[in-house]
Amino acid sequence: MSGIGGNLRIDAERLWASIMETAAIGATEKGGIRRLTLTDLDRAVRDWFVARCTEAGCSISVDELGNIAARRPGRDNSLPPIAIGSHLDTQPTGGKFDGVIGVLAGLEVLRTLNDAGYQTHAPIEVIDWTNEEGSRFAPAMLASGVFAGAFDRDYAYSRTDREGLSFGAELERIGYRGDEICGARRLGAFFELHIEQGPILEAEGKTIGIVTGVQGMRWYEVTVTGMECHAGSTPMHLRADALVAAARMIGAVQAVGLAHAPDAVATVGLVEVRPNSRNVIPGEVFFTIDLRHPDDAVLAAMEAALRERLEAAAREDGVAMALTRIWDSPSVHFDAGCIEAVEDAARTLGFGARRMVSGAGHDAAYIARVAPTTMVFVPCEKGISHNEAEKSEPGDIAAGADVLLRAVLATDERLAARKPG
């Protein structure tokens, strides 16, 4: 592989400048980003991305889910493109790097190839996937899921945020509902650069994570219904307090995660109490649950235990409970050839690296269903992510982008050699 791409390196300063420039779109006082999907700020960063890719000589296409693909032509445009991508949307209190570096490193790869006058065999595309985070419209990775056939378009359009606004209407409002059928384009391979969102690389002093797959994930919504009554005149033994019951259930979520440790995680991340008045006994509580495990069989056992514990808590407090699974993302195993390309690139460039499974979900998990796929991880300080304090060093991001560049070029050679004739 050492001869592929010669001594090509990305421009680390230019990549860091792009990251800081986009960080100003939706910047928070604490140094993070609030750029929820399909908001005006999302439109602004999309416009920025389209403009920069156009300046780099790319053609732009937008599909019916708002996924943006910037294409740099190759010598043989009959070959399916090798894609690089991630997402530009963030959590409500997100950081500067989650998802963003995967898109901007892709842009930097294109710029580097332009600077060197290097022509690939296949086209290279950089993709910004819509609604990876799922913080506004659940489930996560919605548009890449439609691309891969996990969801249909109308299901995605029907998803609503907590204000009742639909995905479809908001996509139309910001002007990014395209004409191309989502999933109609074939990809020759897909690579995603991302911060680890965990502490392993930093703890081991490694620069590159070679991602072999993604653990299984299931999301749930729970509604607990009791009886609203006056807080001062309703005796304790006659109450049907939805919040007290929900508190027991949240404790049960924690217990299920601990019972299946160390590989399991279980999280309640959103809670809404109604009517949310200080002198009214809560009559309804809505909350979410996130279960994850690398083994799908263990994940199923966790769900069974969860249902049993929540139903027991509801009976104990005399309330009704409705538990709905809204997302099931099975564990994913990435492509051996793409993994090898990343591993070879890290070795050639002299970076400390290790293989690892992703604990977080990524668009790559769905794209792996329809194209050879893998991911490249770089460290983030203390493993902190989905947080305004998220931090990754410029040198580590540049290293990840260099590995990405070489892995893409090696894959381009490999796929071109396989073409008949």
Annotated binding site for Zn(2+): 87, 98, 133, 194, 386
For 58, residues 6+ apart whose C-beta sits below 8 A from its C-beta are 70, 71, 72, 110, 126
Could you tell me the two tokens for 180? Answer: 């191309």
Could you tell me the two tokens for 148? Answer: 């891969």
DSSP per residue, 262-275: TT-EEE---EEEES
CB 218 within 8 A of CB 324: no
Q: Which runs of consecutive H residues, i.e. helices, occur in 190-241?
A: 200-204
Rounded CA-CA distance 404/412 in Å is: 12
Kind plus residue range of the DSSP H or E element containing 340: helix 336-349
Type of residue at 285: V
What burial class does residue 42 get, using C-beta atoms within 10 Å of its C-beta: 0-12 exposed, 13-18 middle, 19+ buried?
buried
Pairing of strands 59-62, 68-72: antiparallel
Q: Residue 29: count other Cβ atoms within 10 Å of its Cβ.
A: 6
Please name which of 11, 3, 6 lies closest in space to residue 111, comparing C-alpha atoms.
11
Binding site, annotated residues:
87, 98, 133, 194, 386
Could you tell me the two tokens for 90? Answer: 């963030």
| Sign of the alpha-carbon dihedral angle for 161, 165, 167, 170 | negative
Could you tell me the two tokens for 197? Answer: 């969102």
Could you tell me the two tokens for 237? Answer: 């033994």
Could you tell me the two tokens for 291? Answer: 């279960």
What burial class does residue 247 get, using C-beta atoms within 10 Å of its C-beta: 0-12 exposed, 13-18 middle, 19+ buried?
middle
10, 11, 13, 15 alpha-carbon torsion, rounded to 10°: -60
Of the CA atoms within 13 Å of residue 217, those in its CB half-sphere come to 21
Please name which of 29, 11, 8 lies closest in space to residue 19, comparing C-alpha atoms.
11
Residue 211 β-bridge partners: 356, 375
